[in-house]
Amino acid sequence: MDENPGLSEEYRMVSPWPLFVALGLPIAEVGILFGLVPLAVGGLLLFCGSIAGILRENGYVSSTWRGLAGLSVLVIAGGLALWYADMTTASDLLIRAYSMIGTGVLMLLAGVGGDLFARDVEPSV
């Protein structure tokens, strides 16, 4: 198999990540907006996993697992912001906050566990 597939010599390769970003973001938004926990969790996992793949592919992070762990901190912070907004206002944001915090914790566990236990099995990009 060719290591440099593409349309011509000037293009290195075609990235699959934009398709998953385009699918993950709207799914996550619909899940968070309407309080549908499976869609929110699945969409956030797909979106953040794709972003971590993009960061690794472009060389911004040394490991996809570390990129995923870093993005999990942002998702947890967003969930905590929703939780705080639910406490200070009379809105019903608690299920949305819990789904974001839970997804962030899952991504953090996957990132730390992958970095610790899958060192030799780094996803190829």
Q: Which domain holds residue 43?
A: 17-116
> Which single residue is written with the structure tokens 């349309």?
7
Whether residue 50 is contained in a domain is answered as: yes
| Predicted TM-score (pTM) of this structure | 0.81
* pLDDT reported for residue 125: 58
DSSP sequence for 91-120: ---HHHHHHHHHHHHHHHHHHHHHHHH-SS
* pLDDT reported for residue 35: 87
* pLDDT reported for residue 1: 47
* pLDDT reported for residue 9: 59
* Structural domains counted in the chain: 1
Mean pLDDT by 10 residues, the chain (125 residues): 55 78 94 92 95 91 92 96 90 90 96 84 58
